[in-house]
């Protein structure tokens, strides 16, 4: 019988991490060894050595600290935390030299396919104006969302230029996550839109990413790698 994957969930009392922990606890493919949150962060240094992978949904500051702890303990690290600075992204990349690190601003498969389509649309619609509108709940700390930043990057990659993509961020009630990317020409427009109906879309994707990441070579991976869309 295949042994269940020993996993830690960091941010396990948060909006997203609590769903990851709940799904992992009832999935026979996983053994949930540690639920980490702000109150028990110190204990993770020991716990990191007892799991094969840690899944993080916390804050940029703690994300990079946990990534470094995982690198020291040779534990794979999966993070959905957004809003990392350039320096924090470099710290994540440093951890990825020692262990596999999977970092995705959005773990939903539908949104990942949207990123792929965004680059393709930008390539095929030269001269069209592109703009993004993203909507999230009022508790979200970063704006624009990490997903909106990634969508803008996909447009730039498709166009092969560095031009900014105008982005509007709305913070309304308890909206889980909505993104719409519009390409406007003079006679028509095309909109790619995605709506996450529940945080389980992210939680399930993060658990799939955990299974996929364990055993990979050190390096930085994302959903496009997992879905074979690179």
- By annotation, the residues acting in catalysis are 136, 140
The Cα–Cα gap between 209 and 215 comes to 12
Number of C-beta neighbours around residue 217 at 10 A: 8
* CB nearer ligand NAD, residue 69 or residue 125: 69
* CB nearer ligand NAD, residue 15 or residue 89: 15
The Cα–Cα gap between 84 and 82 comes to 6
Beta carbon of residue 197, minimum distance to ligand NAD (angstroms, whole number): 13
Binding site for ligand NAD (CB under 6 A): 10-11, 13-17, 36-38, 41, 57-59, 62, 80-83, 104-107, 142, 202
Beta carbon of residue 163, minimum distance to ligand NAD (angstroms, whole number): 25
Long-range contacts of 19-22 (CB under 8 A, 24+ apart): 19/199, 19/200, 19/202, 19/203, 20/55, 20/57, 20/203, 20/206, 20/207, 22/203
* CB nearer ligand NAD, residue 103 or residue 181: 103
Contact 132, 181 (CB under 8 A): yes
* CB nearer ligand NAD, residue 27 or residue 37: 37
Beta carbon of residue 198, minimum distance to ligand NAD (angstroms, whole number): 11
Beta carbon of residue 226, minimum distance to ligand NAD (angstroms, whole number): 13
Contact 176, 140 (CB under 8 A): no
């Amino acid at each position: 019988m295949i042994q269940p994957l020993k996993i830690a969930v960091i941010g396990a009392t948060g909006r997203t991490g609590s769903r990851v922990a709940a799904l992992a606890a009832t999935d026979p493919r996983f053994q949930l060894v540690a639920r980490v949150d702000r109150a028990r962060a110190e204990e993770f240094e020991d716990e990191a050595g007892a799991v094969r992978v840690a899944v993080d949904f916390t804050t940029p500051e703690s994300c990079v600290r946990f990534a470094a702890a995982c690198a020291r303990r040779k534990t794979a690290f999966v993070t959905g935390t957004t809003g990392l600075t350039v320096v924090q992204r470099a710290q994540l990349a440093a951890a990825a030299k020692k262990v596999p690190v999977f970092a995705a601003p959005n773990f939903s498969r539908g949104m990942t396919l949207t990123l792929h389509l965004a680059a393709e649309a930008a390539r095929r619609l030269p001269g069209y104006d592109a703009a993004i509108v993203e909507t999230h709940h009022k508790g979200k700390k970063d704006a624009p969302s990490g997903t909106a930043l990634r969508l803008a990057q996909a447009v730039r990659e498709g166009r092969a230029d560095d031009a900014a993509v105008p982005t509007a961020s709305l913070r309304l009630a308890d909206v889980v996550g909505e993104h719409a990317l519009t390409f406007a020409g003079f006679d028509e427009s095309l909109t790619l839109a995605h709506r996450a109906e529940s945080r389980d879309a992210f939680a399930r994707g993060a658990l799939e990413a955990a299974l996929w990441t364990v055993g990979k070579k050190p390096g930085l991976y994302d959903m496009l790698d997992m879905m074979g869309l690179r």
